[in-house]
């Protein structure tokens, strides 16, 4: 059973005042912890980019407490978007829509679109309702690194740099939201999450997954992201045990995330069995990778996940983490100066 966590009156008042003062606030959602800022306060938004080391061309997600406030942030709500919001909000779905004129371009990464969602975590709902406005929030981690799924992860990442951290326990889902664009009469899946392609299609019909046309930049959509500091590689299932045996025999300390216990005894190896249930694997993925990242190994080997849409989000995050280990930039571009206008 998921523990329902609510903030105390003092915690909530402190967080709201911090947001109004332009300070960042870390808060839980059902997906991962967010690093939130007043969505209408440019100085506060710049502080988030600065803390994360995030390019200002990379958009943020505006979190609101109800779909009835969507029109404050978007120019229009296509029928498909209204249907998706009705079905999946509050919940782990982000909609990309034409931005309203008042939305600051630091929120949108300089684009004419804005990403919006209504989180379902009770503490996020408390905060948003008490604040009475939009909170722009990426995940509460350094840019390109593993997203936090516990308050302690945020504290490890930022220490005293983030004064207010609302502790809502473990995030229920553990991977970032599904992102869908509803633009120009089309519906397109831009990032997989716990809301699957099949679920989307049952609501709106055809959902595009690939296109040769340019698409909006969205959080986590670059080729390299979600990476531990230790180099990570995804290994085919049939090759995992032999590769571990070979590397440990050569004296390397190896960390492994598999879907089963080790078949042999491997010295110098830290092995985590993530299991075969996609929901449990996704929930624990970042926590497991953080544990392996602290094991002081030369590399992390991750067993490839099944080709099944229930595993698509985990597959996506692992492929991007492996790309980051190969030296690619988190978004295919160097970060720009956070003080510059996008």
Domain-embedded: residue 337? no
94 three-state secondary structure:
strand
- Spell out the residues 6+ positions from residue 195 whose beta carbon is closer than 8 angstroms to its own: 88, 91, 92, 93, 177, 178
| CA separation for the pair 195, 30 (Å, rounded) | 13
Residue 292 shares a structural domain with residue 236: yes
- Residues forming a β-bridge with 235: 303
Give the Cβ contact number of residue 88 at 10 Å.
24
Domain-embedded: residue 14? yes
Domain-embedded: residue 197? yes
Question: In total, how many domains does the chain have?
Answer: 2
Does the predicted TM-score (pTM) go above 0.95? no
Residue 107 shares a structural domain with residue 62: yes
Cα-Cα end-to-end distance for the chain: 44
183 three-state secondary structure:
strand
Domain-embedded: residue 20? yes
| CA separation for the pair 72, 135 (Å, rounded) | 13
| CA separation for the pair 183, 78 (Å, rounded) | 8
**What's 250's domain CATH number?**
3.40.50.11030
| CA separation for the pair 314, 89 (Å, rounded) | 22
Distances (CA, A) of 260 to 35, 149, 294, 313, 316: 34, 23, 21, 20, 21
Per-residue pLDDT in tens (0 to 9) along the chain, 342 residues: 345 578 999 999 999 999 999 999 999 999 999 999 999 999 999 999 999 999 999 999 999 999 999 999 999 999 999 999 999 999 999 999 999 999 999 999 999 999 999 999 999 999 999 999 999 999 999 998 999 999 999 999 999 999 999 999 999 999 999 999 999 999 999 999 999 999 999 999 999 997 656 778 787 666 567 889 999 999 999 999 999 999 999 999 999 999 999 998 898 899 999 999 999 999 999 999 999 999 999 999 999 999 999 999 999 999 999 998 776 544 433 332 222 222
Domain that holds residue 145: 9-204
């Amino acid at each position: 059973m998921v523990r329902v966590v609510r903030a105390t009156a003092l915690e909530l008042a402190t967080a709201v005042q911090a947001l109004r003062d332009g300070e960042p606030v870390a808060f839980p959602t059902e997906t991962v912890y967010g690093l939130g800022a007043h969505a209408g306060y440019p100085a506060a938004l710049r502080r988030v980019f600065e803390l994360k080391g995030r390019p200002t061309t990379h958009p943020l997600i505006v979190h609101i407490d109800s779909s009835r406030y969507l029109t404050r942030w978007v120019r229009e709500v296509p029928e498909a978007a209204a249907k998706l919001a009705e079905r999946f909000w509050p919940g782990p779905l982000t909609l990309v829509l034409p931005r309203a004129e008042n939305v600051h371009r630091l929120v949108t990464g300089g684009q004419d679109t804005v990403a919006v969602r209504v989180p379902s975590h009770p503490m996020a709902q408390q905060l948003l309702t008490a604040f009475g406005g939009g909170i722009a929030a990426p995940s509460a981690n350094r840019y390109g690194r593993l997203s936090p799924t516990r308050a302690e992860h945020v504290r490890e990442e930022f220490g005293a740099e983030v004064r207010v951290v609302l502790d809502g326990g473990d995030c229920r889902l553990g991977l970032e939201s599904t992102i869908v664009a509803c633009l120009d009469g089309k519906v397109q899946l831009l990032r997989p999450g716990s809301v699957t392609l099949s679920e989307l299609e049952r609501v709106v019909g055809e959902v595009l997954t690939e296109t040769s046309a340019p698409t909006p930049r969205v959080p986590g959509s670059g080729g390299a992201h979600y990476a531990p500091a230790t180099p990570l590689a995804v290994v085919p299932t049939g090759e995992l045990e032999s590769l571990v045996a070979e590397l440990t025999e050569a004296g390397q300390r190896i960390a492994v995330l598999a879907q089963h216990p080790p078949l042999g005894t491997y010295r110098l190896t830290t092995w985590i069995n993530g299991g075969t249930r996609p929901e449990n694997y996704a929930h624990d993925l970042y926590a497991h990778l953080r544990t392996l990242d602290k094991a002081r190994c030369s590399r992390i080997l991750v067993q490839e996940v099944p080709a099944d849409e229930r595993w698509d989000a985990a597959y996506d995050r692992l492929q991007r983490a492996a790309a980051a280990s190969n030296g690619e930039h988190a978004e295919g571009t160097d970060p720009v100066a956070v003080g510059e206008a996008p």
